[in-house]
Amino acid sequence: MRKISLFIAMSLDGYIAKPNDDLSFLKLVEKEGEDYGYSEFTNTIDTIIIGRRTYDYVLKEIGPSHYDNGHRDIYVITRTKKSQVGRTIFYTGNITELVKRLKSEKGKNIYCDGGAEVINELLKHGLIDELIISVIPVLLGYGTRLFKDGRPEQLFEFVTAKTFDTGLVQLHYKQKIKNEQDHI
């Protein structure tokens, strides 16, 4: 079955951005020719789920290349109805139903590209199968947290920890299957 993955960078103290969408801490680990496995990861997916604010931010700051110039299905989670543009769908329905439908369909994997609200909504319902978290060696002190308070406890299985000479550590976990969860 298709899985839903996070692939995201956070500071050692758990923030994915400083206030005002400030991502400048990512510059600490920028290195010519090093994408920390991002291309390899995106080759395994054909669908992106993303919050509306993050979608707008990415379009403005990076441009449509981030979405493979329209060659992927993009579900933008929003409260404002808007017509589909190419393969970009502005989705105002129930996110759990969306994920269940997508998972039942054939296709490559699904990438939840943020922001924190959409991620936490999926986590609340146990819908994230795989976490790939790049830990940046800095304490930011405040900002937007990757993990918000108020989710159910959920076991994960450790897969790998990759280290890089920039000091980035990439932690990879997959969700434990449900009957294992029942035994904790």
Contact status: 44 vs a copy of itself (CB under 8 A) = no
* Cα angle value 156/162/165 (rounded, 5°): 150
Stretch that binds a copy of itself, among 47-55, 77-85, 103-111, 135-143 (CB under 8 A): 135-143
Query: By C-beta, is 41 or 156 nearer to a copy of itself?
Result: 156
* Residues 61 to 120 in contact with a copy of itself, rule: CB under 8 A: none
For the CB of residue 11, give the shortest distance to a copy of itself in the complex, in Å.
9
- Interacting residues of 75 by C-beta distance below 8 A, sequence separation 6+: 47, 48, 49, 50, 89, 91, 98, 102
- Which of 79, 48, 80 lies closest to 64 in space, CA to CA? 48
Give the sheet arrangement for strand 169-175, strand by strand: 88-91, 73-77, 45-51, 109-112, 4-11, 130-136, 169-175
Stretch that binds a copy of itself, among 46-54, 62-70, 94-102, 164-172 (CB under 8 A): 164-172
* Residues 2 to 41 in contact with a copy of itself, rule: CB under 8 A: 12-14, 25, 28
For the CB of residue 112, give the shortest distance to a copy of itself in the complex, in Å.
15
Cis peptide before 115 (omega within 30 of 0): yes
For the CB of residue 125, give the shortest distance to a copy of itself in the complex, in Å.
12
Residues in contact with a copy of itself by CB under 8 A are 12-14, 25, 28, 123, 131, 133, 135, 137-142, 145-147, 149-158, 160-161, 163, 167-169, 171, 173, 184
